[in-house]
Structure 1
Amino acid sequence: MGSNMSVITKVGDKGKKRAGPPQYADWKAIERLRRFLVIFYNSTLVVSASTSLNAHKCYEEIVNIATNLLALSESTDHELKDKAEEMFKKFDKYWDGLKNINKMLIVATVFDPTKKIVLASLCFDELYGKDSLEGKAIYDSVISVLRSSFKEYGAKYGKEASGKSDEAKTSNSGSTPCSRELSMIGTDLHDDGLGYKRIGRRYKEMLNEIGVKDNLDELDIYLKEGVENPDMMAGVEYDVISFWKQNCTKFPILSRIAKDVLAMQVSSVASESAFSTGGRIISPSRSCLTHFMIEVLMCTEQWLKQDISCESRVLTNAEIIEDIEEQEKIKREFAI
């Protein structure tokens, strides 16, 4: 066997050539490299997915890379430790410091109902230590961004929801004459200096002192509810989009925010690859196709490639054409 083994020529560390199979030091170097590659390989598979939602997974992968590099930087292998420390410095610099990372990446994680703020809190504990000041500061900043976004979207889209709640309050407050009379009794009676006291008046004074808490808004309800079970169906990934579609009436404002936040593209590609797709779609032999037919072909291609299974009912060609014509009619009427 040894006589049949081919001679392998390799350039050594000092530039000298040597013959023979890889030695122990070579396998050790490959093992070090593998420990780095597995970190980035697994994260690349997640954030580079093109046919599934991945905006809510980005921050988790960032923390995965950071925590694993930090763990390698504490290795007893000095070469591995030095490389890990150097790599973590570059990784931290790329994100302008993990403490200064764009908070919208963390907010996107919160809009995954299987994780909410719980996963973000765990990530802060892993990076900065449990109950650390840095972790608490980032947690508060994320909550602040959520509050600000909810307030902004509420001012823009929350008129209908607030209108319904106001109507419910009005109908409850003026439901019966008896209730109006009781309210008048509670506000108009006084002691007249005769030593007569009502506990209701004292209660109102106490509320003025300590303040009255408002009812929980959508954000509070969503964060206080338990996380969804991600393993409802074995082998099937939890569908985040379907959750917000089904709960858009329960969380009308949050569903608007989720629609925008989850649409973020977390993987970076060249602008030419992202936008200059005309030559690959419209070949010279198809240059006479209408814009309507091109849209149909592009959508059909994406539907065929998607990971999510379609409904069991199959539409006929006549139904598809009828639906498309109806959409075109609506666009022309409203000049969309």
Structure 2
Amino acid sequence: MIIGFKNVDDHKGSTTARVLVDCLAEWDIKRVFCITVDNATANTSAMKKFKEEFMNQGEDALEGLNEVDDSVTAIRNGIQYVRSSTNRLKSFEFQVDTSKMTRGSLPLDVKTRWNSTYLMLDQAIKFMAAFEKMEAEDKPYIDYFMELESGKKRIEPASTTDWEEAERLVHFLVIFYNLTLMLSATKGITSHKIYNEIVTITRNVSKISSAPGDDETLRLKALTMMGKLRKYWNPFSEVSEFETTKSKSCKMNKLLIVVTVFDPRKKMNFANLFFEKLYGKESIDYNLLSESITDIMKRLYDEYS
């Protein structure tokens, strides 16, 4: 939805920031995922000022505007070097050949799209040994990381720790990538699959967030994500159009579960199995969810009849 066209009196960053804040205020918008601008210098100042002012509305206002992880940036910088000229690519392919690896493409991600970052890292990890040999033997590669970028020295070539961090991130993101492919299919119906995949995400993230072990970094990331998941999947929320007060349960749109019940291979037994996996069969949440779905089904039937 286009919420408005606004006149910006001048090209000052403070003016752009003020117009943007005022526009969002008109619609009572208090949370922003991302903002897209062109590469005009004034926009850098505008986004800085906007962030400072908009953050005053609450610490969760800017959900997606986080700093890029240094480990990912280090790997991305290495790929940018390899892709920047034919000679650099030949040098990299020489290291690939001498390391007895199969050649392959090195995609560069779109920083604002997590799935493209996943694909970039997944492919780059296969050539980790070649990048390490570049660092050890290729002086132009080292010199590249000594150059300034936007007035700052580039993050150094990916270290062993960076590659380990990337492997953890890929292990985490593959869960979402595979499910995204399934749900974004265009040649078949996917609505009856959504709840199944949401349960899969919840169970995987929950397992990682509670698993003891050495991978504390990944566990903390999963723990943070569980906090966001609970905002949408927690019990005891507002009553929806097809719910009675007695049957209110979680914040999600329960029609996602209803459409699963309509799948003749699954029906209500399948939905109850998910409730059991998520909350435990003897829990209050299990009983409330099961009752609420049955209640919605009855009310839908009454509406239909």
Would you say same fold, with TM above 0.5? no
Larger Rg: 1
TM-score when normalising by structure 2: 0.44
Higher relative contact order (CA 8 A, sep 6+): 1
